[in-house]
Amino acid sequence: METKMINLKINGIPVTVPEGTTILQAARQAHIEIPTLCYLKDVSNVGSCRMCVVETTGARGLVAACVYPVAEGMEVRTNTEKCRQSRKMTLELILSKHKKKCLSCERNHNCELQKLSLGYSVDEDRFKGEDYVLPIDTSTPYVVRDNDKCINCMRCVEACNKQSIHAIGPIQRGFYVHIGSAFDRPLAESPCVGCGQCVVACPVGALSERSDIDKVWAAISDPSKKVVFFTAPSVRATLGEAFDLPVGTNVEGKMIAAIRRLGPDAVFNMDVTADLTIMEEASELINRIRTNKIMPMFTSCCPAWIKFVEQSYPEMIPHLSTCKSPQQMFGALLKSYWCEKNGVEPKSRFVVSVIPCTSKKYECSREEMKNDVDVAITTRELARMIKTAGIKFTELPDEEFDNPFAAASGAGTIFGATGGVMEAALRTAAHMLDGDFEVLDFFAVRGSSPVKEATYLVAGHTIRVAAISGLANARKVIEQICNGKNKYDFIEVMACPGGCVNGGGQPTLSDSIRNTVELKEARAKALYASDDRSDLRRSSDSPVMDVIYDDYFGFPNSHKAHEILHTAYWAHKKI
């Protein structure tokens, strides 16, 4: 059916848009940005904050542009005196109960409320509300909630609901309404899995990662510590955004140079253990296929996904790969192989991972892996450290990772995008099964679609695969598997929509960017471009893998490899 087009004017500018378009969406075609607080593309569209109010023909009073649909012949005014005064009062009412600790807030100069308050010349003390102090929730190792900074925009709640976790929601009513877990319990006693999508959705400083920056600075200053950094694949495609570079700029060389200037002893490439993960995981998959063991096999790289399974679907735990994530593999590799080769006491080695994810902080604290990595810092935390150190990021020369963990395959790089782990595993697993199988690009599992499926015939084996991003989508697929509606052999799951490139620890961008730029696609494109340029496209072709196995592990899935590179998972109490 042909889409009906609607003609209207916005501030006198003619605009033609499809029927069903909102005023907010239509305004962008006239290059007009209507202010918002509760609205966030792909996350929240509830029309509750009233910042986007406009005047329009056919309506009495002001209407919320984010939910009000366009109509034929409509005329919209977005910046009338009535609109501006309404927005100003809304901001002043919000500020009446907002903790105004802007100088010490990590969102200072990057806060939607701060930006709008300045633009509308608000009097922050016009309405003096009752002091209603709520405790700061520091119960988890990954997220801090300060409800006195919360503006009740509901974006965090919507982000959590879209993940089908429902760990938080509004509590009480009226002046006393606030966001929290059921019965006002700490976040650690909720179904939260630590994905951090609530953090990147928050427009103010009410939610943040639990910072480990001070621990890193202390280790760098301690002469008894040998500090090693290693960076996750997606960080190179996002770190530049914190320094105003275009979304999707690959800043690998500058990232390495900046970290080196912070003062660690070495800067390594986590892509190496992404390759190592593939060597172990592909071998595990082949063994399951050949011996008819429990199928399908799920990837185990994402700790938020792992926690989700342990809490919600413990019966699926035997389906999880036993491989540690690339982060934990690198820590384990450094504190075993690397320390032994260099005669270094593991306790003196302080291992710092730079990751796009808040749940990786939780992963470091898991009892069975807590000695692998000392500290995990997010892309945001690294950017803050670079800025604090006075390093002029955009002026840095490109530098390279330190050996022996510098070179990795393009397969390791694409781990940061949804479908990347699947494609990397297929490249190596297919080659292991059939030495003549030379296909390197598995396009069917690429892209930001929430569920991608494909079937491949390799050495007489039919391999049915799926790549899933977003936990709500994972829940649907698991239910289908349990009900016998779908059958797969190998499944990749990333908790965050779009994968690690859209992780909860990635740079916080302004709403004007998030609402207009396809972040997942632009960031993933940088990783696939790096893979295309690589001379090594398959993990098994990496010379670093040859060295590691020849020197230490012997072969993938060996007894020693299982001792150091694999782990186990268990059922958590359902909350």
Q: Which residues are catalytic?
A: 281, 284, 301, 321, 360, 363, 368, 500
What three-state secondary structure class fits 450?
Answer: coil
Residue identified by tokens 């749940």 is 359
State how far the Cα of 113 lies from the Cα of 155, in Å rounded to an integer. 14
The first and second tokens of residue 57, run together, are 């023909």
Sequence letter at residue 211: S
* Angle at the Cα of 158 from the Cα atoms of 156 and 163, rounded to 5 degrees: 100
Contacts of 491 (CB under 8 A, 6+ apart): 296, 297, 298, 299, 465, 466, 467, 468, 477
CA proximity to 542, closest of 325, 324, 271, 321: 271
* CB contact set of 191 (below 8 Å; sequence gap of 6+): 165, 166, 167, 311, 312, 575
Q: Which helix (H) or strand (E) holds 179?
A: strand 178-180
Q: How far apart are the first and last CA of the chain?
A: 46
| 512 in Cβ contact with 112 (< 8 Å) | no
The answer to whether 500 touches 419, Cβ cutoff 8 Å, is no
b (16+ CB within 10 A) / e for 290-310: eeeeeebbbbbbbbbbbbbbb
Residues 6+ apart with CB under 8 A from 435: none
CA distances from 468 to 115, 305, 412, 491 (A): 36, 11, 18, 8
Exposed (0-12), middle (13-18) or buried (19+): which is 187, by Cβ within 10 Å? Answer: buried
- Distance from C-alpha of 311 to C-alpha of 317, rounded to nearest angstrom: 10
Tokens of 365: 């604290």
CA distance 175 to 49: 15
Question: Can you tell me the distance from the alpha carbon of 109 to that of 129, in angstroms, rounded to the nearest whole number?
Answer: 25
Q: Are the beta carbons of 364 and 375 closer than 8 angstroms?
A: yes
Distance CA 466, CA 489 (A): 9
Cα 549–Cα 270–Cα 245 angle in degrees, nearest 5: 155
In the sheet where 63-64 sits, what is the strand order? Answer: 13-18, 5-10, 75-77, 53-56, 63-64
**Residue 381 CB contacts under 8 Å (≥ 6 apart), including other chains:** 209, 211, 212, 213, 505
Half-sphere exposure of 129 toward its Cβ, with a 13 Å CA cutoff? 17
Q: Is the preceding omega at residue 404 within 30 degrees of 0, hence cis?
A: yes
Say what angle helices 81-95 and 112-119 make with each other, to 10 degrees. 130
